[in-house]
Each structure stands twice: as C-alpha cells, then as structure tokens.
Chains A and B, each alone.
Chain A
Amino acid sequence: MTATGLTKNLKKRKEVDGEVQEPGPFAETVGLEMLSDEEDEDGGSGSGDREVDEFPEIDTRSDSEDEYEGSEDGSDEEDDEESSEASSDADSGLHIFPESKTILSNITGQLKHVYPEIEPDYDSDSSTEDAPNRVGNVPMHWYDDLPHIGYDMNGKQILRPARGDELDKFLSTVEDPTSWTAAFDKTLQMDKPLTPEELDIIRRLQANEVPDPSYNPYEPTTEWFTGKGKEEVMPLTSAPEPKRRWVPSKWEKQKVMKIVRAIRQGRIVPFKPSSSKPQFYSIWAEPPSSHPPPLPAPKPRLPTHSESYNPPEEYLPTDAERAEWEANDPEDREKDYLPKKYSALRLVPAYDRFIKERFNRQLDLYLAPRVQRTKLNIDPNSLIPKLPSPNSLRPFPSYRSLRFSHDKGRVRCLSISPDGAWTISGDEDGVVSLWEVNVGREVKRWKFDYKIGALEWCPRLDISFFVVGVEDKLLFLIPPHLPSAVFTLTKSVLAPATLPPAPATPSPIKWNTPPSSTSADSPILTIDLPSSSGVPRQITWHRRGDYLASVSSSEGQGGVWIHQISKRHSQAPFKKIRGSVQLVLFHPLKPHFFVATQRYVRLYNLAEQKLVKTLMPGIKWISCMDVHPSGDHLIVGGYDRKLCWFDLELSDKPYKILRYHTRALRSLQFHPTYPLFASSSDDGAIQIFHSRVYNDLMTDPLIVPLKILRGHEVKEGLGVLQVKWCYGQPWLVSAGADGNVAVWCS
C-alpha cells in the first residue's frame, strides 16, 4: 500500500518537475488521490483517534479543505498552489510551519515567496490549541485513582480512556501498521499517532537535515555588487593602492614555507592517525596517584628578642658587629637586620623592609630560588690532604749552619765524600776546594785553568779520591791526610804498577798517568776526552765505584762515555743518540742506565744492550734527575719548574708532578739513607721533601713538603746550582751562583 503510494508520489513529482503549468482537472484528480491517500493515512493514524469522541483534527482537516476550496477561487494562484501542493506532497505534504508560496511578482516580474497571512485570532496561537483536557500542566498521577483524567473546556469530566492490556498492544502492533508511529500522550492518557509534520521532523533529524523543510541551505547567491553593470566606478577612497595588494604576501609565504619545510623534514605526515588515545575512555580507570600531597607552606619564623622594638641591651650590636654587618654582603650576613632599640612603640618608624620581606615570603612559597647559594658546607681544612706534620718527620735540614765562600765565580758543583766528612766544591774560576763539612775550614785547594764542570767523589770507602771534570779532561785527585793503607790502595787502583792490557778496539780516549815524580797536588790520573767535547757537564759513579759515566756538554754525538777504572778503558755506550743527552745515571741495584734527553728519560739495560722503557715526564727541558736508593723511583726536574716523581714499576707517566719552585729547577737529590729529597732552583730556594716509599706495591709513596731553605742569593738569574746530601746525617750542602756553599743542618 505504501509502495504504491510512493510510486504514485514519484510519478507526481515527475509530473510536477516536468510541467509546472498543469491543467486544473488533472490537479483535481491528483488532489483527490492525495486526499484519498491522506485519508488512508489518516485512517491508519486515526485508528487510535476514533476512540476519542470529538476529534478536533477533523476540524482542521475540514478547514484545510476549505482553504483548498477557497484557494480555488483565486484563479491566479491556482497553478502555483497546486504545484506547491504537489511539491509539498512530494515532501510527504506535511508542514508545521506556514508554507510559503513562490509567485511571480507583479511589480518586479520575478519569483517571490508569499507566506499565508497569519490570522491574529485565538486559533493562530498553537499554545491555545484546543487540547480536550484542560487540567493544565499538572502531574497526571494525581488522577491515577480517579475514573477521569481531567476536564474539558466545559468543565465536564474526561473519562479515562480504556487501555488495553499487553495482548491488545501486541495485537495492535501486528494488525495496525501505523501503531509504531503513535506515542503516548500524557494529558490524554492514551496513544496518539504522530502527525505527519512531526514524523517529518523526526525523519529529518535522523538524516542530519535541517528540520525545517522549507529552508533551502543551497539557495543561489544574490549578487549585489559583482557582475555586469554592478561595478563600482568611483573609488571609495582616494588613497593609492598599497603595495601589499599586488606584492605576494611575505608573511603568508613564511607561513607556507614553514609548513613546506615541515613536510620536507617529515614532521607533517599525511594521514597520520591523530592519536592512539581511544575516542572514548574511562577517565576514572587510572589508579589514583601514589604521590604524597604537596607539603603545606612552611610557617614563617617567629620573631625573637632581637627583633623586638625594645630589645634587651645584650642584643644590641656593638660597633664592631655593626661595622662587620655593614661590610658584609647581604647574602653573607648572619641576620638580615640589625637590632634597634626604641624607648616607646610610638617612636618606631615604618618598617622599611616590609615590602621586600613580603615579596621574599611570596617567592619562598612559590619555591622561587632567588639567591644562588653556592656556599658549600665543607670545612676547607678537610680538602687539604692529610699529610703528617713536618715536626713528626724530623730530622731534616732546617737552618744554615755554616757557609763556605768561593772568592770569585759561581760554584757549579760540589760533592761530599762517602764518609760524609769532606766536601769538594768547584767554581767557574777553576778552583776546587776541599773542606770539612762540619767546620767549613778549607783544607786544600787546587787551581785549574778551566772552569770546573763537574765533581764527583768515588763512592768506594776503602779508597779515597775524586774526579774533576774540566775542559776535555777528567782529573783524578787524592785528598790529603789519608791513612797509609787507604792511600796505598788508592794509588794502586789509579796508577797501578802494571797496566792492564789494552782493549782490542782502540778508543779515542787516552788514560794518562803522570810520572811519579810530579807533586802530590797534581792529578794522579787524567782521562783525555775527545777534543772539543767541551766541559763535562756531569760525572756519575756506579755504586761499586769501578764504572763512571761522564756527559760532556758538546753538541752532537759522543757526549756520553762510560769509563772503567780497573781496566782503564772507556767506551761510548751508544752508537747513535737521538736528541742531546742531558744527564745519565746508573741504577743503584740493577745493570740499568738512565739517560735523560731534553724531553724523555730512557732506561737501558746495559747487560742485555736494549731499551727497557721510556719515561715521559712532560717537561720541556730536563735539568736534573736522581734515582731513589731503592731503584724503584726516579725524580726528574726541569727548567720549566716542574718536578716529576716516577714510580718505575707503575707507569711511564709521572706518579706526581710538583710545582713548588718559582724558577727553573737546577738540582735534585735523594738522601742515601734518610727518607728525604731536596730540590734547588734558580729562585734561590732549596726545598726539602719527605719521601717515604714502601716495599709493598699497594702503598703509594708519601711525599710531604717539609721546609724551604732560603739564604742563597740569585745572581744573574741563577740560584742554587747544586745540592748534595751528607752521607749518614740529615744535612744538606748547597752550592749557589753567589759563590757560597752552605751547609744546612737539622
């Protein structure tokens, strides 16, 4: 039935679309058919209505029929009405709003909407529509117990309509196809079919359309200003056209380029899922946070006695305290106010720091750090390494006991006899003095024509002599007043009656023993180094006293020689030397040989003829070096003021670097027996260090600076040129550029 109705409707729409101007009779028939349709529908919907005695809708229907009839009178608008009727029919023909008619205007000759006139009578207001029940908007359950449900306009009771049971409802849904478009009307207490207008609204809402069927969202635009003949000929302003009108917008370009750049860099990806978050989720599903609630704000400190306006006298600051308070920075002050005393409260002036204090309090509550407090709560003394007190490390040299002066020339070198009783010192004037360590009385003096480069006493105790290095020569001298046994043995060692056989390979070095008739003051043995080898810069003895190494100051090759006394033979340990050799040293225990070039210290094994290791002190120019009596530690000093302590078993790099001197280091020496070493420098100072080394490999050496000995004058930029320890005693002998040799005693 509905299907046939629909096809008919479609047919009608086609007819309407196709021919707007339709002859009247056709329209009549259509109207009739439609009426019949409506009748049918009404009949369907009115199945429930019929139970009501008086149904006002019949009246409205009749009214509209009247209208139709009335409208038939208007010959002009008949076609329009019919067409509109037909169109409304196509839209199920239901209107809740007044329907507009589109007519051709007599004035403009164009189409126009014409709305039916609203009659301002009682009926026109929908709120006054005649609902049969006139009880008003009261809860209907008030009438639950009553046979009627209200009263009509005339005050007569409206009886409760009969309500079927569930079976009736079911039957009605089965039998009556329009029952599903009915809704329960509370005031009438019965199901009432929805009107076609209401059904249309529901349908439109379901289809997401505008509920008003007469509203056309796609109306053609009305051109008011554009188009032919509508141009504005006269400009509105006479201002010249701004540049932005015809220049592409830079700002837009920037905006676009920003997006373009983001696309190129892949920051904007098309079709990216918006977020992984589901569209709907339970906001209470997450477990509650386990964090403690924020702490309450701290309470401000309570004022103390000193903040009183009339504090007791003992709280008032003294002048010194006041001055200190004023001298301090506000961060460093212990209190941020000074207690003041007023005899009466009325004399107290306005509190000048109020604003600032409130502000700071607010910042405190806001947790806003205002002052970067870098104050470390560390006792500065605890940062100083725990070193034992120098007093507990006695004995060490602490004062100058005596001084021995060379008349002229700076004293370059000195040496102390192995019994610790005698000192020899050589100056640049060529004088070698032998003097008693303890009294400082010169006993003997030798004078040479050249400046003395190095001196060294033979470490053997059964014989007694020393070697003096002058220009191209090593001279062997015997001190006076020797016991006859020692003297005889020394002579036999240095000038034996039968010379040992000459070595197979000839050496460029000559060993000369002067004839015995020469005086006792002359050297007993002379070693002629190769000519132009210069002044020997260093002479060092092997511990056994048979080998002695000399380093000459000449540039280039051949500076280092090792001389063997017993075989009267000299050899160059190196065929080729890289860099200029500064110093050499014999290892005290092993057959090792230290060679210091300008920057590195190399350790050679003389027995196996190979390089053992290279030490890198990181000094630009090595000036001095000494090896610990245990042979495991080496100290190296440089002209760049550094002193490096090497643990030979630990690393090629220094274990410790000390920079205590202000000028270049000149000399270093370990004490042979006491745990001491001394360094001297061009700043005229000698520094004494305690240096305890341990046999176990776990404990690091303990180096404690003990004493700075001052007393040498700096002359021409040179300070203390050599220091030597006294054997057996913690005494130090130092030779200075000022021509003095000082003995420092504990």
Chain B
Amino acid sequence: MASTSNVGPSHPVLFTTKTPYPLPSQKFMIPSTWKRYQLSQLINKALSLSKPIPFDFLVRGEILRGSLGEWCAEKGAGEEETLEIEYVESVMPPEKMSSLPHEDWVSSVSCQIQGFFLTTSYDGHIRSFDYSQKLINSTQAHFAPISSLCVIPTSDSDSDSLLLATSSHDLTGHLTKISPASSASQSIASLHLHTAPLSSITTSHTGAHLLTSSWDGLIGVWDTTIPTTDEVPLDEVERHDRDRKKRRKIADDVEKAIRKAPVTVLKGHAARVSKVVFGKDETKVAYSCGFDSTVKMWDVENGFCTNTITASEKPFLDLAITSDGQTALAASTDRTISLYDLRSTTTHSTTAISTLKHAATPSCISPSAISSYQVVSGAYDGIVRLWDLRSVKSVMASFKTWDGEKKVLSVDWKRGVVGVGGEGGLEVWKIGENNS
C-alpha cells in the first residue's frame, strides 16, 4: 500500500472476486504502471495469506496482460474512472506428468474414468493405462483405425467393467465392455449405418443414447440397449470374409458382436460430418459440425435440424460445447477456432463471437468441465494451448508435446489432467482448472 504513494498517475480501482479470498470493498489508488505481478502481490499482502497465491486480473472481463496504464490507453478509459477489477486464481504453468508411447498414432484419449487413461489408436486397439503409466488392457476392437472413443456412463455403479463406444474407419462403431483393471474385454455390439469412415462417436450424459458422425454426411442416433439378435443382416462381402476364416482368433470375438441399427438418422450435412456432440445435460439437442462449413443444431428425438450456423469456407474439424452450454467452439482448417453463441435465436447466424488464432491446424478442443472460460486445444504443430475465452487475443499457456512436429489429434481435460493423444502416443499434463 505504501507504493500507492509513488509518483505518477494512479487509478481508482475496486477489487471484486468470486474466489474464497475476498478483499473488503474499498477503493484503491493503483499506479498505472502496475502489472499483474504487483496487483497479485498487493492482494496477497492485503489478505496476508500464509501461502502466496498468484492471481490473474480481469478488467471488464478481460485478462490484464500489460500494465494498467497500457490497458487504459488501449481502451480509452479516463484516469478518474473507477475500474472494477475481478481477480481469479492464476493458472499454474502446465507440468508434464508422464509420457506413454504407443505403437501407432493415438486418435482419441479419454480421462473420463478416475485413475485410468483410455486411448484408441490407429492400429484398432483400445488401451487402458492406470496412473502409474502401466498398460493394463489392450483390446483390438476394430481392424481399421479407430477414430474416436467415448465412455458410456452406466446406471449400475459397476466399476469393474466399462462400456466403451468406438468409431472406426471400417464404417462401423463398436460397443465394447472392458474392465480397466484387468485385461478382460468383450465386444458387445457393432453399429451399422454408415457407408464411409466414422469420424466421431459421443454419448449422452445419461448414457442412453449415442451419436455417430461419418464422412458420408450422416449422423446416426443410437440407443445403448443391446438387442438379442442382429438387426442388420450380414452383407455379402463380410460373409465371404468370414467364410474364408483368415482372421485371427481374436477376430472371432469382434465378430460375435450383435449388429445394431440406428434409431434415427440425421441428414442435413452436405459434406463430411467431423464431430457430433450432445448438448450439455440434455439428450434432446445435439450439435454437429462438418466440412461444409456449418454447425448444425439437431432435435435428436424428432430428427430434424433446428438451426444452422453457416460460416464461410471454414471446414470444421472439431466441435466442443463449453460447460455452461452457451458457446460452441469449432476448429476449422483455416487455423482458427470460432466461438458461436448458441443462445442466439436467429436460424442462420454466421458471425463468430470471436476467433482463437492458431499457428497450425487446430485438430481438437477440450473445454474445462468446471470453468466455462477455459479451453484446451491441440494443433498439428504439436502444441497444446490453453485459452481463456475472456481474452482471446493470446493464449494463456501453451506447451509442446513430443518435442517437435508431431500432430496432436486428441486432448481431454478432466480433473486438472490433460491427456494429449497424437502422433507420438499419449502424454499427460497437469493444468489446474479455475473454478470461476
């Protein structure tokens, strides 16, 4: 506080916070040369915290990056104007926890299950690792590259076995039951609809429904009840293959799966659908994005498209919904991630709220489960970036995986742990999440 007597212009500032470290509501005169570090020290000193906590400061919803004076000059705020500054706990620099090399590229990673990492790979295997980096389970689910993986929440709290849904280039999705703790696995059902490789599979939060997207422009809606008989007949080629018995023994297990047909098919995309997700905490709404530069909102029950966001020449690669369910993030090949407001009622809104610019093609997005502002994105240049949506101009933090030009294909951020899957296998990093 003594430093407020410094010569030079100063600003009246009111500090607010949602963290458990509130300051008394009182105006401070802050020298305009102060930056985040001095402000953070000020709060630490004012609260006389036993352990110093670094804070980040949001001035009118924007992260303060330079000095206060620079911010005022940029925004044109007057010197006498009282600034309301919100402070949040800083994100700690990401720390690498472990590296789990794979034989092949990792196409999808899931940190959904506490204590385990689940990966799918281009060699068709589902692998599970525990936190001690030990490969516990490796199951060949497909004979083609697996493109995505999701863990279906089950109502019975049977922790021994997990129901996993995978989508693959062999035109099917699979439901596989594995027990993460042991090497047991069982193929339950295969999903037959698409005539092109599947790009993603996702589950509703209840676990009752699945959505698959494919390169043929279709979105399949499935339920997770396992029928007793095949719903789709075996086609000629596969029968022929099966007759030849050229597959290995393990293939029999795969082929024992019951062939399942979709509940509904959502048609509307003109090109490849690259990602489909359910809306937050609801099973009726789904969002999809595709190479036709559209983000579509679907009424899943009735099977029609409720809204289309058409961008110009942005083939979308990945889509994510923030935890508050109000913003969609879509990564496109023009090296941006676009933010779209899902609350807007106009049927054909095209303008993005803001864009996150990358140096390379962003391939995957994972929003924080807790904070609606924090997003992790992975790109083809092997760098994983942490963004704060309140301040989209530059990244909050970034880290390089596999030391070089290896593509990141999947990120998953749960409980402060980011699993990064890609060309070099799996890496696990630790990034704290803000609870704001």
State in angstroms the CA–CA spacing of A486 and B235 once bound together.
12
Q: Which residues on B sit within 8 Å (CB–CB) of A438? A: 317, 333
CB contacts (< 8 Å) of B301 on chain A: these are none
A485 at the interface (CB under 8 A from B): yes
Minimum C-beta distance from B200 to chain A (A): 13
Q: Are A481 and B317 in touch, CB under 8 angstroms?
A: no
Interface residues on chain A, size class: 20 to 34
Tell me if A485 and B195 are in contact (CB < 8 A). Answer: yes
Contact A483 B122 (CB under 8 A): no
Complex contact A443–B195 (CB within 8 A): no
The residue from B195, B196, B236, B291 contacting A729, defined by CB atoms under 8 A apart: B291
Given the complex, which residues of A lie within 8 Å of B220, measured CB to CB?
A: none
Assess whether A394 is in contact with B313, with CB atoms less than 8 Å apart.
Answer: yes
Beta-carbon contact of A480 and B171 below 8 Å = no
Instruction: Tell me whether A426 is interfacial, beta carbon within 8 Å.
Output: no
Question: Of B196, B197, B215, B236, which is within 8 A of A484 by CB?
Answer: B236
- Which of A395-403, A604-612, A660-668 makes up part of the contact surface? A395-403
B144 engages A487 (CB within 8 Å):
no
Complex CA distance for A486 and B171, rounded to whole angstroms: 13
B407 touches A481 (CB 8 A): no
> Quick check: is A135 within 8 A (CB to CB) of the other chain?
no
Give chain A residues whose Cβ lies under 8 Å from the Cβ of B373.
Answer: none
A401 and B380 contact, CB distance less than 8 A: yes
Least CB distance from B405 to A in Å reads 8
Residue in B170, B315, B333 whose beta carbon sits within 8 Å of that of A481 in the complex? B170
Contacts of B313 in A (CB 8 A): 394-395, 730, 746
User: Is there a chain B Cβ closer than 8 Å to A441's Cβ?
Assistant: yes
Let me know if A161 is at the binding interface, CB within 8 A.
no
Whether a CB of chain B sits under 8 angstroms from the CB of A488 is: yes
Other-chain contact of B237, A394, A402, A439, A488 (Cβ < 8 Å)? A488
Interface of A is mostly: loop
The smallest beta-carbon distance between B103 and chain A, in angstroms, is: 13
B425 within 8 A of A: no
Q: By the criterion CB–CB under 8 Å, are A483 and B171 in contact?
A: yes
A728 CB-CB contact with B under 8 Å: yes
A714 CB within 8 Å of chain B:
no
Query: Whole-angstrom distance from the CB of B38 to the nearest CB of chain A?
Result: 39
Q: Bits for A708-736, please: 1 = Cβ < 8 Å to B, else 0.
A: 00000000000000000000111100000
Answer whether A402 and B334 are a contact pair too, CB < 8 Å, given A481-B144, A484-B235, A746-B313. no
Closest beta carbon of chain B to A593's beta carbon, Å: 33
Q: At the interface, yes or no: B285 with Cβ under 8 Å from chain A?
A: no
B334 touches A745 (CB 8 A): yes
Q: Please encode chain B, from 117 to 147, with 1 for each CB lying within 8 Å of some chain A CB and 0 for all others.
A: 0000010000000000000000000001100
- Cβ-defined partner of A746 (8 Å) among B105, B122, B170, B333: B333
1/0 per residue A428-454: CB within 8 Å of B? 000000000011110100000000000
Q: Are A488 and B236 in contact (CB under 8 A)?
A: yes
Chain B residues within 8 Å of A96, by CB? none
Query: How many whole Å from A577's CB to the nearest CB in chain B?
Result: 43
Give the Cβ gap from B193 to chain A, nearest Cβ, in Å: 11
- Measured CB to CB, the nearest residue on chain B to A402 is B380
Q: Which residues of A contact B291 (CB under 8 A)?
A: 728-729
User: Once the chains bind, are B380 and A481 in contact (CB under 8 Å)?
Assistant: no
Does B370 reach chain A (CB closer than 8 Å)?
Answer: no
Asked if B156 is at the interface of the complex by the 8 Å CB criterion, the answer is no
A395 and B169 CA atoms in complex are apart in Å by 29
B407–A443 CB distance below 8 A = no
Residues from chain B with a CB closer than 8 A to the CB of A395 are 313, 334
| B145 near A441: Cβ-Cβ < 8 Å | yes
Interface residue B265 (Cβ < 8 Å from any Cβ of A): no
The answer to whether A421 has its CB under 8 Å from any CB of chain B is yes
Within 8 A of B (CB), among A483-515: 483-488
Closest to B171 in A: A483
**Is B271 among interface residues, defined by CB-CB distance under 8 A?**
yes
Q: Do A481 and B171 touch (CB < 8 A)?
A: yes
CA–CA, A601 to B137, complex, Å? 62
Residues of B within 8 A of A731 (CB): 333
The interface residues of chain B lying within 8 Å CB-to-CB of A484 are 235-238
Q: Is the CB of B169 within 8 A of A443?
A: yes
User: B333 is contacted by which of A441, A480, A745 (Cβ under 8 Å)?
Assistant: A745
Chain B positions 151-204 with a Cβ under 8 Å from a chain A Cβ: 169-171, 195-197
Q: Which A-chain residue is minimally distant from B422 (CB atoms)? A: A439
Residue of A nearest to B122 (CB): A441
Tell me the minimal C-beta distance from A670 to chain B in angstroms: 19
What are 24 A-to-B residue pairs whose CB atoms are below 8 Å? A395-B313, A395-B334, A401-B360, A402-B407, A403-B405, A421-B196, A438-B317, A440-B407, A441-B105, A443-B145, A481-B169, A481-B170, A481-B171, A481-B197, A483-B195, A483-B196, A485-B235, A486-B195, A488-B236, A728-B271, A728-B291, A729-B291, A731-B333, A745-B334
Interface residues of B (CB under 8 A from A): 105, 122, 144-145, 169-171, 195-197, 215, 235-238, 271-272, 291, 313, 315, 317, 333-335, 360-361, 363, 380, 405, 407, 409
